[in-house]
Structure 1
Amino acid sequence: MQLANEAPSPSVNTVCVGISHQTAPAELRAQMRFSAGEIRSAHPRIRALGLSECVLFSSNDRTELYAAGYEGIPSVDELVRFLMSEKGGESPIPAKSFFSLKGGDAVEHLLRVAAGLDSMIIGDTETLGAISEGFAIAQETGAAGFLLQQIFAAAQGTHDKAKARTLISDGAISVSSAAVELAQRIFDDLTQRRALIIGAGETAQMTARLLHAKGIGSLAITHKNPERASQLAATVGGTTIPFDAFRELLPGIDIIIASLQSEPHILTSRSIKEVGKSRHGQTLFLIDCGIPHNIDPFAGELENVFLYDLDTLNLMVSESIAQRRAHAPDVEAIVQEELKRLLSWYSSLETSPTVEALGKVIEKIRSEEVAREIHRFKSQDRKVVDDLTKRITERIVQIPAEHLKMGREGRLPDRLQNVSLVRKLFGLDSREDDPSDKQ
């Protein structure tokens, strides 16, 4: 795992194989998706292929397996065949639906995925939850060792920096998220508000889940099909209202989201005006996701009524996506920054450069202290003091140096971890950036 023109790094093979929205349609991605339990049970079979470390994660738009081997690694074809055998079933998944990356390319890909650059919708960080879950399971089962722990920590760090420094994940990316964003602009605190969703289709379901996640005070569902209303209400802790009775309860509702197809003007301007009389000037927020309009557009002209339709919501989504794309170059720079840091750290795990850096640190401390106190000694004794302290520090450095070199004959992951520990304890990486240490 190294970049061109960099110092050679320890001999560790890293690889990523997977399936994503860029290589396969939705039905194949759904077939390949692993649940948390399936990931956990698959680890022993993955390790049996001869892998030292592995992390497997799965989301709506991708399933990816990251593997590291200290003494060789199975071929990409073998790893692909493993995934196909786990999820192929009666409908085999074509091998061409999979992709593979090795070394630094695999690491860079993970960082881009975590930052939202490789998502179906740019900036969408849903996959980060899957990455975190897969990594947590790998830690529980012991499948994530020293190397993958560092790589996946870098992925989380890349996401955090992208979110803190850019707007790559800001703004609504769907009609439902735009509707909830507008509701928050109008009411600020949704925990004290009552919402009614008229409908039970995909948009209604997603909006209900988002309102529930935002802590909406109460949520009611109504639909011509009571069973569909009950099913949706059960998933979001809501209640149901009979379709032929929901109008009677509107005075007690703050947010109404209508999402029925082929149901023009189920709420007329006149009926909304009557509702307003019972609300005594309280704000009423209306979202019309219906085709054709479920709510009379003239209702938006009424006092204390805010009405938004699909055109407004789609415009918000378009503006958000354009904003995210504008921030993509900044996120790419963060990815490269984190990748360079990670690969630099990895290259530093060679034993000889670490021993040399440790010697320089201790010699710097010795020379500074001798220079500070040497005036206390007679001139004829000063060389003796200088030579004596040099021999002491050389012997001190020799102790960890011998242990690190002995580790070269042992397990590679142990040696890498020992070298990393020495560099951390003595601050060798931070000191290499200090100009005073290079004088």
Structure 2
Amino acid sequence: MGPPVDPVHGDDVHLDTADVVIIGGGIIGVSTALFLARKGLSVTVCEKGHVAGEQSSRNWGWCRRMGRDPRELPLVVEALRLWGDMEQLVGEDVGFRRTGILYLCRNDGEIAHHEEWLKRAGDFALDTRMIRGEALAAQLPGARTTFKAALHTPSDGRAEPQKAAPAIARAAQRAGARILLRCAVREIDVEGGRVRGVVTEQGTIRAGTVVVAGGVWSSRLCRQIGVRLPQLAVRASVMRTAPVEGGPDGAAWTEGFAYRKRLDGGYTIADGTTNHHDIVPDTFRYFTDFLPILAREWRGIGLRFGKDFFNGPAGFAQSSGPGESIYERHRTLDPAPAVGLLAQARARMEDVFPALKGAAILQRWAGYIDATPDAVPVIAPVASMPGLVIATGFSGHGFGIGPAAGRLAADLVMGDRPLVDPTAFRYERFIDGTRPRPTTGV
């Protein structure tokens, strides 16, 4: 089972028209809904399960600028500004704290890798610095291992994934957005070459604009209307501990483990290096699109072949009974975590921080990350399909970037001046012959 998520009560009123329908109740979808509703638009969010049921509640909770693709950095800066104002924006504490994030370096090769990012980031590096010696030791109280250096960003931070998207959703409702739960969108309604609304399990909703913010489901939804969106799912495993005294604050990544101090005093722990991809038909459909990033990241991707090839959410099976779509069969994706990988990550962290030895493991879970060939999201209208806006493919960056991504998507829907230049996030880069240029991994 996934981590416990703060509940959001769906709206009972089901109207058959809206200015905008948003597919997906994750952090991207509900953030888009909030900013559109605050502009006075009629907004309906259709969520097949519950708000933040999938990756929006299953991620590490990092809100970082450090290490991002340079194309994302302007949007990440805006996201961190929004995170800083989040309690005022939504009226709830979602756990955002600027505790800083570290990339721990064990050798000169890792140092050189992170120094290269500093050069690429340029002015957007802001307060990120390489630290060593006593400055680094001060960031790692109780550490038994000495690291050679670390890339450190004091202004980066963390928030609680199980609280954030639900709080944003409730704020969107107060602003006038409707959120329909257990309301799967079976298909996007297209007439005369443009979007006219959606067909849901509860009926058709007419709308002039549809925003696809469906995470790993987005490629399938788009393919149903002839829009090719190369995207694959990457399965990442996470665990959380009971509260621990004497451990490090903030968050850090190093080869073999990553951690984040939680608001409750426990830790979120992950391997930090290895994720899994379950081979499905889309693996072959988009194989050539993903070759550049696979060549770059192959050491950190474990390939698996199993029953999901036929029966999973991206498999061949389309339905499980008359009148029931694949989306209804999979209300909430809840993949099995890689227990062995998590055990290794925990052991490595305990070797560095003995204070964690014996800490109770409260839960283990996994989630599916929606990855694109260049690890940069799509936040864009589709020129060939008027009325369609895509906001997906966040490649493991969606939680931290989510509030600003929603704001940008809302700007594009409204035709307002965009929060940042949206060129880097255009959909057409995947169909016009542009070669993917990944600079970071998932």
| TM-score, normalisation: structure 2 | 0.22
Greater strand proportion:
2
Q: Which has the higher helix share?
A: 1
Structure label with greater radius of gyration: 1
User: RCO greater where, 1 or 2, for CA within 8 Å and sep 6 or more?
Assistant: 2
TM-score scaled by structure 1? 0.22
